[in-house]
Amino acid sequence: MTGAVTSTIPHEGTRSGDLRAFLAMSRRAVVGFFRQPSNWVVGTAFPLLITAVSASAFSRSTSLQGFPDTDSFLQFLMAGTILQGTLFGSITASTDLALDIEKGFMDRLLASPVSRTVILISRLAGAAAFGAGLTVFYIVVFRLFGAKVEGGLGGMAVMVVLSTVMAIGVGGYGAAVGLRTGSAEAVGNSFPLIFILLFISSAFFPVETMSGTYQAMAQANPVSFVIDASRYQVLEGFSLAEAATGFAVAIGFAAIMIALALVQLRRRLEDHS
Amino acid sequence: MTIASSASTKTGRLALSERIPLVPVVRALVRRSLVAITRTPSALAPILLMPIFFMISFSGSYSAITRIPGFPTDNIYNWFVPYACVQGAAFSGIGVGFTTARDLENGFFDRLRLAPSGRPALIIGPLGISVIRASFPFVTVLPIGFLLGADFPGFGGLFMLAMVSAMVSGISGLWALGVVFRLQSQRSLGLVQIGIFSTLFLSIGQVPLSVMDGWLHGAARVNPTTNLLRMARQGFLEGVTWEMTWPGLIAGIAMLSLLGLFAITGFRKVEK
C-alpha cells in the first residue's frame, strides 16, 4: 500500500513528476475557477454591458478624422472588450492563490515534493483558460450582433493567443500581489490599476483621435500594442507581421509578471523559514 | 412611574415623551460615520479617486467626440467634470450601504433599533452621511477640473450642481439602504453597485441624446437621471435656465420619494 501511494507522488526534479503535478494542479485551478460563477459571471457580463452602451453612444464617432476605416463602432470595440474581460477575469482568478495562502493550503503545497515554479505556474491555468474561453465566447457574441473578424480563423487564433498570454501576465501580477500580502482582498483591490491601464490605452477609442499628454501616455501604454495587434485582425485581416509587436509585448509582460511572482514566492519562503 | 411609561411597558413601544429627539440621534450617527472616515481614510478612495480618474480618462479618451455635429460644447471638460461630481455623489450612497450592511451583520444595528430613538433617525442618519460624503468629490473634482480647463459655470451653475449632487447622494443612499435592509448582507452591495452603474450608464452621462443612436437613445430618454444630469451640467454649457432646472427637480423629488418608500418598506422587514 505504501508503495502504491509512494508511486503516485510526483518527485521534485523529475520531468514526469513535475508534469503530472502541473497537470493535476492546473486542473484544480481551472475547475475551482469555473465552479464559482461569481468568479466569471461579472467579468463576462460587465464588459458586454459597457460595450452595448458605448456602441450606441459613440456610433457616430466612426466618421471622425483619425478613426480607423470601419463603419461599425462595435467592430472597433471588439479587441478592447475582449482584453477588458480577460483582464478582469484574470485578476479574479489570481485571488484563488491568495485564498490558498489564507486557508493554509499553500503551506501544504510548499511542503510537498513539487517544484515551486510548477506550483505557481499551474495556479495561472485558471486565468489562461478563462482568457482563451472568453475570447472565443466574445467573438461569437459580437458576430451575432453583426461585428465579424475580418482575419478569419487565423485572425481569431491570434486574438485567442494574445488574450491568453495577457491573462497569464495579469494572473502573474495578481499572484505576485497575493504572495506579497497573503490577502485575497489586496489582490481584489489591485483591480483599479488594471482599470487605469485599460482606460489610458486604445481600448475604447483610437489613440489618433486623442491629444496632448493623454495621447502620449496611451501610445506608450503596452496594453495599446496588444489591443492594436488584435484590432488589426478584426478590422483589416489576418497578419502575423502586425501581430508580432503585440505578441512580443504580451510575452514580455507575462514573463516579467511571472518572474515577479517567483521572486515574491522565494521571499515568502525565506520569511517563513 | 408615569402613565406614559406604564403604557409603553405594556405595548413595548415608547411614548413620544420618552424618546430621544430625532436631531441628536441623526447628529450622533453622522458624527460616528465621520470619525470612522478619519480612522479609515481608504474608505474615501472610491468616492474621491474614482470620479477624478473617470473625469481624466473620459476627457482624455473621448476628447474628439466634441467634434461630432450636435455636441453641445467644444470643451470636453465642461461635459465630463459635472458628470464626475454626480458620479462621486452616487458612489457616496454605496459607502452608506457598506456601513449599514456591516452594522446589520455584526448586530450593531439591532442595538440601534433597541435605543429609545425614533425609527426615522435610522434612515435619516445614514442619508445625512451620504449627503456629507457627496460633498467630498464636489470639492476635489471641481478644482482639478478647473485646472484642467473646465469653464467656471457661475455661482448659479455651481448651486445647481451642488443641488443635484445632494439629491443623487440621497437617491443612491436610499437605494442602498432599501437593498441592504432587505438582504442584510454586505454581499448585496454588488446589486447596489450594478443598479447605480446601470442608471448612470443608461443616461446622457457620456454623450447627449442628440448624438446617441439605437436602443440607448430610448433608454436614456426615459431615464430620470438624464434630467438630473441636464440640470447639473447647464451652468457649464449654456447657462442656468428654468427649462433645464424643473425637469431635474421633478425627477429628483420623484426618485427620492419612490426610493424613500423602498427604504422604509425594507426597514420594516428588518423590524420583523
Per-residue pLDDT reduced to its tens digit, B22-58: 788 888 888 887 787 777 666 677 677 888 988 999 9
The alpha carbon dihedral of A98, A101, A103, A106 has a sign of positive
Single out the residue of B36, B177, B25 nearest to residue B111, CA to CA. B25
- The chain A residue lying nearest B46, using CA atoms, is A192
pLDDT at B16: 55
A110 — contact with chain B (CB < 8 Å)? no
Q: How far is A137 from chain B (nearest CA, A)?
A: 23
At CA A166, angle to CA A123 and CA B54, rounded to 5? 110
In three state form, how does the secondary structure of chain B look?
CCHHHHHHHHHCCCCHHHCECHHHHHHHHHHHHHHHHHHCHHHHHHHHHHHHHHHHHHHHHCHHHHHCCCCCCCCHHHHHHHHHHHHHHHHHHHHHHHHHHHHHHHCHHHHHHHCCECCCHHHHHHHHHHHHHHHHHHHHHHHHHHHHCCCCCHHHHHHHHHHHHHHHHHHHHHHHHHHHHHHCCHHHHHHHHHHHHHHHHCCCCCCCHHHCCHHHHHHHHHCHHHHHHHHHHHHHHCCCCHHHHHHHHHHHHHHHHHHHHHHHHHHHHHHC
User: How many Cβ atoms are within 10 Å of B262's Cβ, its own excluded?
Assistant: 17
B interface with A, Cβ–Cβ below 8 Å: 49-50, 53, 56-57, 59-65, 67-68, 190, 198, 201-202, 206-207, 211-217
Q: How far is B45 from chain A (nearest CA, A)?
A: 11
Per CB-CB distance under 8 Å, the chain B contacts of A54 are 206
Residue A223 in domain: yes
**pLDDT lower than 70: segments of chain A:** 1-16, 38-39, 189, 272-273
Per CB-CB distance under 8 Å, the chain A contacts of B59 are 214
- The chain A residue lying nearest B214, using CA atoms, is A56
**pLDDT lower than 50: segments of chain B:** 1-10
Backbone angles phi, psi at B20, to 5 degrees: -75, 135
Domain ranges of chain B: 23-271
Domain of A119, in residue numbers: 12-56+68-272
At CA A202, angle to CA A136 and CA A228, rounded to 5? 55
Per DSSP, what are the bridge partners of residue B117? B20
| CB A83, CB A90: distance < 8 Å | no
Single out the residue of A160, A206, A204 nearest to residue A63, CA to CA. A206
Q: How many domains does chain A have?
A: 1
User: Going by C-beta distance under 8 Å and a sequence separation of 6 or more, which residues neighbour residue B159?
Assistant: none
Residue A6 in domain: no
Count CA atoms closer than 13 A to A194's CA, side-chain side: 25
Q: What angle, 0 to 180 degrees and rounded to 10, lies between the N-to-C axes of helices A73-103 and A152-181?
A: 30
Residue A2 in domain: no
Per CB-CB distance under 8 Å, the chain A contacts of B50 are 192
Residue A32 in domain: yes
Q: How far apart are CA A20 and CA A8, in angstroms?
A: 9
Residue A4 in domain: no
Residue A61 in domain: no
pLDDT at A9: 46
**Contact call for A210 and B214, based on CB within 8 A:** no
Unique residue bearing C-alpha cell 502575423: A240
Residue type for B140, please? T
Residue type for B197, please? F
- The chain B residue lying nearest A206, using CA atoms, is B61
pLDDT at B234: 96
Residue type for B77, please? Y
Residue A220 in domain: yes
Count CA atoms closer than 13 A to B33's CA, side-chain side: 27
Residue A247 in domain: yes
Q: How far apart are CA B49 and CA B166, in angstroms?
A: 19
